[in-house]
Amino acid sequence: MPRRAADETRALLIRIGMKMLVTKGVAAGVQHIRLQEVLRHAGLTTGAAYRLWADQTEYQKDVAVAVVRHRADHPTDQARSRLQSLIDEKAPLDEVLRQGALGHIGLETFASRLFLVTLALRTTADSWPELTEASRERHRDSIEKFADYYSYLMSEYGYRMREPYTVRQFSEAMAALGDGFAVRTLEGLPHIMIEVDGETWPLFGIAARGLVREFMEKV
């Protein structure tokens, strides 16, 4: 087998560590992602790793930052794929909110698992400056993309932001709400479901509807 360049070896070991972290989940940060096990998966010797990182902690730091920076897909792609047909059919906005919330809590994909792992890492980001910055970059990017998406929804349904609110402030509130319910998932807590006017709503959807009614008004 031809010898890998240092950059190729580094990328390989980071990828394996990321996959192991997403598969195993977060336990005390990334301390359970052991470099020796990663090397065994890669079929490499210890020397290959320690030419790239001074110690295991430096490797774990790079894995954590790589996970936080990684995007399995566009932040709004899942929402668009789940809801676009409803929007095209001019389904009531409440139904769009309900279905969006049901999809958010019901996803069992690699992307959703990656999001939960990323969220867990972000809650401990203050331990490493590099992780803090990667977390902030991810948040800024998400807010920008969702602000665009919410502006599109408002245009489709004839809504505008109520004074003195902005769409960015609404996006921040929705992000905080979504992150909060995701933390419940990490804790293993069941989703709270409520019957409202003959329809089953997740509590997340009811809360999102409350934000819409506070922040927005019909044109």
Residues 168-179: tens digit of each pLDDT: 999 999 999 999
Alpha-carbon gap, residue 209 to 89, rounded angstroms: 20
- Identify which has the larger pLDDT, 109 or 46: 46
pLDDT at residue 110 tops 90: no
pLDDT at residue 1 tops 60: no
Question: For position 134, what pLDDT does the model report?
Answer: 95
Q: What does the pLDDT look like over 29-75, one tens digit per residue?
A: 688 889 999 999 999 999 989 999 999 989 999 999 999 999 878 77
- Identify which has the larger pLDDT, 26 or 129: 129
- Identify which has the larger pLDDT, 25 or 94: 94
pLDDT at residue 130 tops 80: yes
Q: Do 24 and 38 form a contact (C-beta atoms < 8 A)?
A: no
Question: Which of left, alpha, beta for 12 (phi over 0: left; psi -120 to 50: alpha)?
Answer: alpha
Question: For position 2, what pLDDT does the model report?
Answer: 66
pTM summary value: 0.85
- Average of per-residue pLDDT across 91-101: 96
- Average of per-residue pLDDT across 8-26: 85
- Identify which has the larger pLDDT, 111 or 97: 97
Average pLDDT, rounded, for the chain: 91
Q: Do 165 and 137 form a contact (C-beta atoms < 8 A)?
A: no
Q: Which of 6-15, 16-25, 165-174 is predicted least confidently?
A: 16-25
Q: Do 60 and 31 form a contact (C-beta atoms < 8 A)?
A: yes
